[in-house]
Chains A and B, each alone.
Chain A
Amino acid sequence: AQTVTQSQPEMSVQEAETVTLSCTYDTSESDYYLFWYKQPPSRQMILVIRQEAYKQQNATENRFSVNFQKAAKSFSLKISDSQLGDAAMYFCAYTTTDSWGKLQFGAGTQVVVTP
């Protein structure tokens, strides 16, 4: 069974600073996808960034980037130049090509942004 672990229940960051959220996962699959989702107080899940396991290059979306270490089964999210609007719960998620979108989520990390 695959599991996704987020070991940081909460992270605090000042505006304009950088914060890194950790995520590890356990799988025996070689082909899979990893995602970071943001869930603000409105509760809508918003896709932040995705990574395909067969791609060695780390994904980047504006101020969001990942550090994907396949051998270590680690998938961390870095938020640069943090903004107040980044405050939310962040979920790491995993799925395989066979599961196709059936996401397995970690427990989430609450990001608090202070002025």
Chain B
Amino acid sequence: DAMVIQNPRYQVTQFGKPVTLSCSQTLNHNVMYWYQQKSSQAPKLLFHYYDKDFNNEADTPDNFQSRRPNTSFCFLDIRSPGLGDAAMYLCATSRGPRGGGTLKGAFFGQGTRLTVV
């Protein structure tokens, strides 16, 4: 089945120690997103890639970076995690206009729960 896969499902990292979360997709969607969701809150968009073009949200801290080496993979790098970065991180994909068709919606992975100790 075509899907969005996030690894790992659970990640524990030390305060200040760089951490990388990964996302892969078999949907061949040209747009990939990273959302942060804190407990009992709605997901908040951090940034997205439209093909190779990186689009940062204005209020995303510099501590968060992303890489997309190819269509299928996207990484979220947190350079110096703080206690406030503990959250669920959701990767999502969608088809953009250059991919043709109408917007069916964004399809999400299972998320990575990040704990900072």
Contact = CB atoms under 8 A, between A and B. Distances in A.
B31 A103 contact: no
Nearest to B105: A47
B88 interface: yes
B2 interface: no
A102 B45 contact: yes
A100 B97 contact: yes
A97 interface: yes
A108 B69 CA distance: 34
**Residue of B42, B92, B107 with most partner-chain A CB within 10 A:** B42
Contacts, number: 59
B32 to A, nearest CB: 10
Interface residues of A, number: 22
Contacts of B111: 43-44
B31 A101 contact: yes
A47 B107 contact: yes
B43 interface: yes
Contact of B108 (A44, A50, A100): A44
B8 interface: no
Nearest 5 pairs of A and B residues by beta carbon: A101-B94, A105-B42, A45-B108, A47-B105, A44-B110
